[in-house]
Structure 1
Amino acid sequence: MTEEGLSDEDQTQLHQDLDTLWTQIRAEVQKSFGPDFHEGSLRAAVKCILQQEEMDSKWLSLDPGLVPVWRPNRTLLDHNEVLGHMVQACLSQRPLQDGAGDKSEAETASAAEGELKAESEKASKQDSLDVTICRLAAQMREDLLYVQKTVSPCYPEHMNILQTYLLLYHRCFSSRLEQLANAPLDNKGLSCLLHWANHSYPREVVDPELEGKVDTDSLGPLLPTELVQTLQEQYLTFIQECLQRALKFEQELWDKPSKWSSEECSFPQLASDVLQMLVALQKVISVGPEQSQTIPVLLDSFLCRYVEAVEEFVKGNHINVASMLKAQLVCEEQFREFVLNHEIDEQKKLSCLNSLNALRDCGYCSLTSGIRSNLKEYVTGMWTGPWLDGSLPVMDSLLDFVDQKLDCLSDLKPCCAQWLLGRLHRDVALRYFKNLLKTKRRRLNEQVAGANRMTDDVNKMDAFFTKKGSDSGWVSKILLHVAEVLRLQDPDSIQLELVFLVQLCPDLSSPHVCRLLLLKSGLSTDSIRAAKCSVEENRPLGPPTNCSPPFFSHLKVKWIKVKMSQFELNTCGC
C-alpha cells in the first residue's frame, strides 16, 4: 500500500532514507565494543531507534489499509539481532572488521557460525576443554561488566539493555558448550562440562558488581536437561569403573607381602583415592533429591564389595594379614568420617556404617585373637583363697600378658589404636565379670573380700588401658558398681546400687541381676524380687542419654544358669 499524498518517487526516496538511517544506526551500535566507540553517537543512535519504534506504534494503531509497506520498520528488533552477532563475535574472539557493517545479516550470521564451528573443532583438538570454557566465561564476565559501566548509560532505563546483553551472552555461551558437549569427550571434559552446567553457571560469569542489576534466574539451564543427564550417566559409568579398578589394585597389593611397609600401613591409598572420586563426582552432578543419593548408593555398594574382599583375604591365613588389616583399619576411619560428616539418607548411612562395623569387627577379631583366646586361663584363679587374700595377682598377670601381646600393635595409627584398645578393654572387663558370676553363693566375709579385690583389679585394669590410649573408662565404672553390690549387705542399699547400675548401663537384664544376687548369701527371696522389680521400674525408656554403651548384653547368661536361678529363687520370676 502507499501513503496518501506521496508520489511513488517520494515513497522510494523515503524508503531509501530509512535504509540509510538504519545503516548509520547499525554502524554506531557495532562500535560499542570497539576503540572508536563514542557515547554521544550511540545515544543518538538509540534515540533514533526509539523514534522509529514510536512511529511504528503510531502507524500500527491506524487502519491496516493506510500503513505503508515499510511499516513497521522493526528497528529495535534489527538492533537486537545486531547485538546477537556482536556477542557471537566477542565470544569467538574475532573483533568486528572495518566494513563489517556493510555485510548483510545473513553473511554476518554465516561467518559467525563458521567461526564458532572452526574454533570448537580447534578447541577439541588443541586446547583443553577447561581452558576453552574458562576463556569464554571470562570474556562473558568482562563484557557484561563493560556493558554495565560503558554501554548501558547510553540506553534509557526501561530498555534494560544489560539484561538484553545477558540473555544474548547466555544463548551464545550455551550454544558453544552444547557444540563442545556433542564432540568426543574424555572424562576430564565430561567433568568440566557437568561442573559448569550444574554448579558454576551463572555464578562464574556474572561479576558480583552486577548483583541486583540483572535477573540470572530467567536464564534457564546452561545445557538441555536431556544432554546433562546423558553426560552424567557417562561420567557415573566412568566413576564406577574407577572404583572397581581401585579395589582390584588394592587386592593385588594384598597378594604381595613384600610390598607392605609400616608407612603403607599408616598411609594407605585406597580410601583416599575412593573418596577423591566421590568428591569429584559430587562437584559435577546436578543438585536434587534423586542425585543426592547417587554418592551414598555408590559408596554403599563399594563398601559391601570391599568388606567381602577383606574378609575373604583374612580367611586365607596369609602371612601379611596383620599388616594388611592395620592399613584397612586406617581406611575404615577415613570412610567412617566421610559417612558421618556428609548429608546421607539415614537408611544408606546405616547400611554404610554396618559395612564399616563389619570391617572393624574383622580387623579387631583377627588382630586380638591371640589375646582374647587366652584371657580365660588368666582369670581362673578368681574366688580362690589366694585371690581373696591378695596373694594371687590375677589382674597383674593378665595385664602383663596383654602388654606383651600389644607390642605387635604398636604401629597402629592413634585413631585406630584408641577404639581397638577401648574394645579390648571392654572385652577384658567382660571376661572378668563372667568369671565373677561363675561361682557358688559366697559367705559374707568372702563377698567383702571379693569386692575389695575386685575394686583393686578394676582400678589396675583402668589405669593400664587408659595409659595405652583406651577411651572405655566407662567399663570400670560399671564394674565398680558391681563390686559395691557385692560389698553391701543391706537389701535397700543393694537395691539402690542396682538402680544406679541400670541407669548407667540400661542393658542390665533380669538374668544378670538374678545371677549377681545369687552370689550373696543372706538375701531373702522377697529382697531379691524387690531389687529386680526396682531395676525394671527404673530402667531408662527410649533412646538412652548420658548412658554407657552396651556392656551386659555382650555377656549371655546361659539358659541352664537362668533355670538354676529360677529354681533357687522359686517365685522371684527371673
Structure 2
Amino acid sequence: MLKEAYVNLVAMRLELQRERKPQEEGASPVNLVNNEKDINILFETLRNKISDIVRSSFLPSFNKELLEYAAHIIQKEKGKQGEPGAMQGWRESWRDAVQDGVRDPLKKLYLDTHKQNDFSLEVHLELVGKAVVDDLERVKTELLSLYPPDFNVLETYVSCYHEAVVEHLKKLLENMTELKDYKVLLDFTIQRYPSLFKAHCDVEDKAAPIIQEDMLNKIKSSYCQCQKDDFKSELENIIRCENDVWKMKKIPDKADDGFLTSNIHMNICQLITSYVGNLKEIDEDLGKLFIHVCLDELNPFLERLEQVFSQSTCFLLTSDLLDICLWIQYHITYINSFNSLKEHVQCYKESCSAQVETLNEQVDQLTQRLSQTLIKHFQTDVKPFMDVMMTKKWLKTDEDFNEVVSRIDSFSGLCKTMRAPAAQVFANDIHYYVAREYISELMKKKYSCKKTKNEEAAIKIRVQWNKLKKLFQEMESSLDWLYPLGDYLSNIIRMENDKNIKELLTPLVNDYPDISKKHLLAVLYFRGSTFGGLIFGNESVLNQFTMLKREVGDPHHGHFFFSDIE
C-alpha cells in the first residue's frame, strides 16, 4: 500500500508538471491550482504516515520492510528537492519523528517510576541510562541496516537521545529540593551517563559533549545554591548549639596543653571538607569553586555568632563571681577557637587566596573585639581602685592596691588559657593600661607629700611597681620598656635636694622622650617641691629638663606613653 501510494503520488506530480508547461506564459487555470493543493496535501499525509512508521520502529514488533521502504521514500524525495513541485524538509521531518520516538519512552519511564512509593532518583536515572544504552544497541543491531548509509542513523539517534535526556533532566531539576537529589543528578550528568554512553555506543566523536554546557552549568549552579543553603543552615545549627552551651553555663573544655577550646572550628572545617569532598568526587573544578562559597559564607556567620554571643551571655555579668569568670572563659575560648580556624583554612590559600585573606581579617577583627571586651571589663573592674591611688589613703593602706593586684592575678591565670599570639597582645594591653592608670594618678596632683612623707611614698611606689612588674613578667608581657619607669619616678620623689633631681632626669627623658614639662611638674608637686606651679629653690631642674628635651628632639621617636596621659 505504501509503495502503491508513493508511485501514484509521484505519477500525479509528473502529470501536474506536464499540464503546467503550456500555461507557463499565462496564468494557471483554477483546476491546476486546486490539483497542486491536493497533491501537496496528499504528500503531507504521506510524510505524516512515514513519521508514524519511524515512531513505531521504537516498538518491539515493528515492520522492518515498511521502515526500509519509508527510508527509501525519504531518500528519493530528498534527492528531488529543488525540482518544481517537490516538497521540502523530508529529512528534517524524519529527525523530528526520531526525536518524538526517543522522548516518549523517557516520559513513560518517569511516570512508571513515580507510581512506586519508594521513588528513588538514583534508581530512576540508572533506568534512564540503561534505557538509552539498550535502545541505541537496538538501533545498531536492528535499524541501522534498514537505512541508506547517508542517513547517519546512529549519530542522529545519539543526538536525539542527548536532547531528550537534557529535556528530561530539566523537568527533574524543576521539581528538585533536596541536596542528595542534586548530587545524584550532578553525578549522573557529569560522570555516570557519559561513561555509560561512551562505553556502549560506538560513535566517531566520543569527545563531543553529551550534555550541553548551559544545561550542565544550570545543574551545577542549582546544586551549589542548594549546598550553600544547606551549609548556611548547618552554620546556624552551630550557633544554636553554642547558645545552648551558654544558657546551660557549661564550662569550656581544656585541651591537653591547658588552653581553653571548643569544637566550633573543627565542626566548621569538617563541614567544608565534607561538602567540598562530595563535589570533588564529581567535578574537581566545582569542588574548588565551592571552597570560595564556604569561605565567603563564614564572614556573615562570624558576625551572627558574635551578635548572638554578646546578647546571650550578658546575663552572666549580672550574677556572681563564678558566672563572671565563666563569661571571661567563653571569650577566651572563642579567641582560641577562631584563631585555630584561621590556621586551618590556610590549606585553601593557594586556590582561594582572596577569600582566605578576607576571612583572616574578619577573624582578627573578631578576636580583637573579644579581647577588647575583656580589657574593658577589666578596666571597669579596677578603675574604682585605681582612682584612689596617690592619695593620703593610698599612703596609709594597701587595701585598694591589693584589690588591683587580685584582679590582675585573676586575669593572669585566665590569660594562661589563651593561645599565642592573642595571649601576648592581651597581656600587653593589660600591662599598658595598669601602668598608664597608675602613673596617671600621680599626674592628677591629688596629693602632695610633706616632709618625711617623700621617702615613704617613694618606697611605696617602688614596692608596688615591682609587684606589678612581677605580675606582668608572669603574664609574659613584652612591654619591658615600662619596667624602669617606677624606679625613675620613685628616685625623683625621694630626693631631699632638688639639685640632685637633675641627675635623674637624663635616663627618664631618654627612655620616655614624650614626657612633658607638665608631667614633670606633677611629679614635683607630688613630692611637695612646687607651689602654684613654681619650683621652690633652684630652678635649674626645669632648665636641665628643657635642655634634655631639646637634645632628644622628636618626643615620639621612641615609646609612646606620657602623651597618652592628660
**Counterparts of residues 116-515 of structure 1 (less than 5 Å):** 116-120=110-114, 122=116, 125-126=117-118, 131=122, 165=158, 168-169=161-162, 172-173=165-166, 175-176=168-169, 178-179=171-172, 181-182=174-175, 185=177, 189=178, 191-192=179-180, 202=190, 213-215=207-209, 218-222=212-216, 228=222, 232=225, 236=229, 246-257=238-249, 260=251, 262=253, 266-269=260-263, 296-317=299-320, 319-323=322-326, 325-335=328-338, 338=341, 343=354, 354-363=365-374, 405=410, 409=414, 412=417, 415=419, 419-420=422-423, 422-432=425-435, 434-435=437-438, 464-466=474-476, 472-473=477-478, 475-477=479-481, 515=519
The alpha carbon displacement at 1:172 in A equals 1.7
Give the partner amino acid of 2:474. F
Report Cα offsets for 1:169-221 as digits up to 9, x if no partner: 476256336426526x4xxx1x34566789996478666x9999335895203
The alpha carbon displacement at 1:465 in A equals 3.1
Aligned counterparts of 1:349 and 1:556: Cα–Cα separation in 2: 30
**CA distance change for structure 1 residues 175 and 312 in 2, over 3 Å: closer, same or farther?**
farther
User: Which residue is equivalent to 2:80?
Assistant: 59
Aligned counterparts of 2:547 and 2:153: Cα–Cα separation in 1: 89
User: Which residue is equivalent to 1:527?
Assistant: 547
For residue 215 of structure 2, give the secondary structure of its aligned residue in structure 1: coil
Aligned counterparts of 2:206 and 2:521: Cα–Cα separation in 1: 75
For residue 90 of structure 2, give the secondary structure of its aligned residue in structure 1: coil
**CA distance change for structure 1 residues 180 and 523 in 2, over 3 Å: closer, same or farther?**
same
**CA distance change for structure 1 residues 272 and 514 in 2, over 3 Å: closer, same or farther?**
farther
Aligned length: 440
Answer whether contact 1:293 1:344 (CA < 8 A) is retained: yes
Aligned counterparts of 2:76 and 2:488: Cα–Cα separation in 1: 102
**CA distance change for structure 1 residues 476 and 278 in 2, over 3 Å: closer, same or farther?**
same
Aligned counterparts of 1:337 and 1:274: Cα–Cα separation in 2: 11
For residue 334 of structure 1, give the secondary structure of its aligned residue in structure 2: helix
**CA distance change for structure 1 residues 430 and 494 in 2, over 3 Å: closer, same or farther?**
same
Aligned counterparts of 1:404 and 1:222: Cα–Cα separation in 2: 62
Structure index of larger Rg: 2
Give the partner amino acid of 1:359. L
RMSD of aligned Cα (Å): 7.2
Give the partner amino acid of 1:557. I
The TM-score normalised by the length of structure 2 is 0.50
Percent identical residues: 7
User: Which residue is equivalent to 1:565?
Assistant: none
Aligned counterparts of 1:174 and 1:319: Cα–Cα separation in 2: 65
The alpha carbon displacement at 1:378 in A equals 11
**CA distance change for structure 1 residues 498 and 212 in 2, over 3 Å: closer, same or farther?**
farther
1:557 is aligned to 2:561: no
**CA distance change for structure 1 residues 175 and 489 in 2, over 3 Å: closer, same or farther?**
farther
Report Cα offsets for 1:324-373 as digits up to 9, x if no partner: 54245323443455579585599998777655443333456668988898
Aligned counterparts of 1:531 and 1:197: Cα–Cα separation in 2: 78
Long gaps (5+) in structure 1: 32-44, 86-104, 147-153, 385-394, 467-471, 500-509, 540-547, 559-574
User: Which residue is equivalent to 1:39?
Assistant: none
Aligned counterparts of 1:137 and 1:453: Cα–Cα separation in 2: 86
Aligned counterparts of 2:118 and 2:109: Cα–Cα separation in 1: 16
For residue 427 of structure 1, give the secondary structure of its aligned residue in structure 2: helix
Aligned counterparts of 1:511 and 1:204: Cα–Cα separation in 2: 76
**Counterparts of residues 5-44 of structure 1 (less than 5 Å):** none
Aligned counterparts of 1:256 and 1:421: Cα–Cα separation in 2: 31
Long gaps (5+) in structure 2: 1-8, 17-38, 61-66, 138-144, 199-204, 280-285, 346-351, 396-400, 449-454, 493-500, 525-540
Aligned counterparts of 2:97 and 2:291: Cα–Cα separation in 1: 36
Give the partner amino acid of 1:2. V
Report Cα offsets for 1:261-284 as digits up to 9, x if no partner: 746995535565567678889989
**CA distance change for structure 1 residues 483 and 113 in 2, over 3 Å: closer, same or farther?**
farther
**CA distance change for structure 1 residues 248 and 314 in 2, over 3 Å: closer, same or farther?**
farther
Report Cα offsets for 1:8-39 as digits up to 9, x if no partner: 9xx99xx99xx999989998x999xxxxxxxx
For residue 214 of structure 1, give the secondary structure of its aligned residue in structure 2: coil
The alpha carbon displacement at 1:115 in A equals 0.8
**CA distance change for structure 1 residues 523 and 59 in 2, over 3 Å: closer, same or farther?**
farther
Answer whether contact 1:138 1:205 (CA < 8 A) is retained: yes
The alpha carbon displacement at 1:113 in A equals 0.5
